[in-house]
């Protein structure tokens, strides 16, 4: 009987790990009553975590973005109508604070603008609900 090659097993585990990552949608809510508006976002190759941020129209967010990867990434944010309101490059290991006033209800999309990074998973959204 043929024994399984340890390399094959390693590749299978890697595929399982990658598919587990791809299926994970992390989510945070910004609670209006607690006065805290800071949202920590982690950029890596290739994800932005959390991928869904729930907040409200009128919130003044402070996005604390860290690039945990060894290559350049970016955070671009669009208003619900599609207008780009922020676009910040982050070098390897760099952290930046990005203030963002949610002036409209709706879905504010964010993504990395480097070639193919959005398609590879570096995208998410801020869901701005009407004020409570």
Give the interface with Cu ion as residue ranges (CB under 5 A). Answer: 73, 112, 114, 117, 122
Q: Is 119 exposed, middle or buried (0-12, 13-18, 19+ CB in 10 A)?
A: exposed
Q: How far is the CB of 124 from Cu ion (least distance, A)?
A: 12
Nearest residue (CB) to Cu ion, 59 versus 118: 118
Question: Between β-strands 52-56 and 27-29, what pairing exists: parallel, antiparallel or unpaired?
Answer: parallel
For residue 54, the minimal CB distance to Cu ion (Å) is: 23
Using the minimum distance from each CB to Cu ion, give the nearer residue, 37 or 117: 117
CB of 117 to Cu ion, least distance (A): 3
Asked whether 108 and 78 are in contact (CB, 8 A), the reply is yes
Residue with Cβ nearer Cu ion (30 or 122): 122
CA atoms within 13 A on the CB side of 14: 6
Q: Round to whole Å and give the CA distance between 77 and 80.
A: 10
Give me the least distance between CB of 47 and Cu ion, in Å please. 9
Nearer to Cu ion (CB atom), residue 78 or residue 117: 117
18's enclosing H/E stretch is helix 6-22
């Amino acid at each position: 009987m043929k024994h399984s090659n340890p390399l094959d097993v390693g590749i299978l585990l890697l595929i399982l790990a990658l598919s587990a990552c791809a299926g994970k949608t992390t989510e945070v809510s910004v609670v209006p009553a607690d006065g805290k508006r800071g949202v920590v976002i982690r950029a890596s190759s290739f994800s932005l975590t959390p991928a869904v941020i729930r907040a409200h129209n009128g919130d003044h967010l402070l996005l604390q973005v860290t690039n945990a990867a060894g290559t350049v990434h970016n955070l671009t944010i669009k208003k619900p109508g599609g207008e780009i309101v922020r676009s910040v490059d982050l070098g390897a290991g760099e952290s930046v604070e990005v203030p963002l006033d949610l002036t409209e209800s709706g879905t504010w999309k964010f993504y990395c603008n480097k070639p193919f990074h959005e398609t590879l998973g570096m995208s998410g959204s801020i869901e701005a609900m009407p004020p409570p």
